[in-house]
Amino acid sequence: MASPRTQQKTLLDLARAGDAEALQAALASLAPRATKDFFAEKPLHVAAEEGHEEIVKMLILGGVDVNGKNEKGSTPLHFAAQEGHEAAAEELIVKGADVNAKDEDGYTPLHLAAFNGHRAMVEMLIGKGAEPNAKGNGGSTPLHFAAQEGHEAAAEELIVKGADVNAKDKNVADGGKPNPRMVKPLDSHGYQESAVAATS
C-alpha cells in the first residue's frame, strides 16, 4: 500500500489535472474519512485553483472539508476567487464554503477577487453574502485592493454594492498616496484624498 505522502501527492496531481475517473478510483482506495483527517483540504485547494468544478464536487462528496485551511489559512474558496473561477466558487459556496473566511493576513475571498480584477467574481461573492467592507489585518478592504491595482470595473462593482470609498488602511496612516489611475473614478463617488487606494 502506498504511503500517506504518496497518496497525498497522487490526489494533488489528479486534482490539478482534472482527471475525474482516476481521482474517483484514488478516493475509493483510501480509508474512510482519510481525505478529511489526513489530506485535509489540499486537493480541494488545487481543484479550486484550477477551476475544475466536477473535481471540486467529487472531493467534497468524498469527505474533504469545504472550509479546510492550508498553512496560510486560505480556504479553497480563496483560491477559486483569486483565479476568477466562478463555477468552482459557486459549487464551493453551495456546499457550505464560508464567503467571509479570512486567511492569516485577514483577507477574504473578496479581497483576492478584487486584487485580481475579477469583476464578475466580486459580484457573485457579494451576492452570496460576502462583506464588501471586510478589513484585512492592516485595515485594507477589497476596494483598497481593486483601486490600488487599477481595476476600475471591480472597484465600481464594489462601490455599487456598498464599499466605503473613504475607508482608511495602514498605508494611508503611514503617509501613502492614492493610486493616480483611480482618483478620478473614485471622485465621482465621494472619494476624499488620502482615504483609499494608498500605495506604499
What pLDDT score does 98 carry? 99
**Which tens digit of pLDDT belongs to each residue from 88-98?**
999 999 999 99
Q: Which residue has the cell 469527505?
A: 63
For domain 1-97, the CATH class is mainly alpha
In this structure, what C-alpha cell is assigned to residue 34? 482519510
The ranges assigned to domains in the chain are 1-97, 99-200
* CATH code of the region 99-200: 1.25.40.20
Task: Provide the strand spans (E) within the chain.
Answer: 177-178, 198-199
Is 1-97's fold the same as 99-200's?
yes
What pLDDT score does 36 carry? 43
What pLDDT score does 200 carry? 40
- Hey, which residues does 178 pair with through a beta bridge? 198
pTM recorded for the entire structure: 0.76
Q: Which residue has the cell 451576492?
A: 127
What pLDDT score does 32 carry? 38
Average of per-residue pLDDT values in the chain: 81
Find how far residue 109's CA is from the centre of its chain: 3
Q: Which of 172, 83, 81, 165 is nearest to 123 (CA)?
A: 81
**Which tens digit of pLDDT belongs to each residue from 46-88?**
899 999 999 899 889 888 899 999 889 999 999 999 999 999 9
pLDDT along the chain (200 residues), means of 10: 59 74 69 43 85 91 89 95 98 98 98 98 98 96 91 93 87 50 55 46
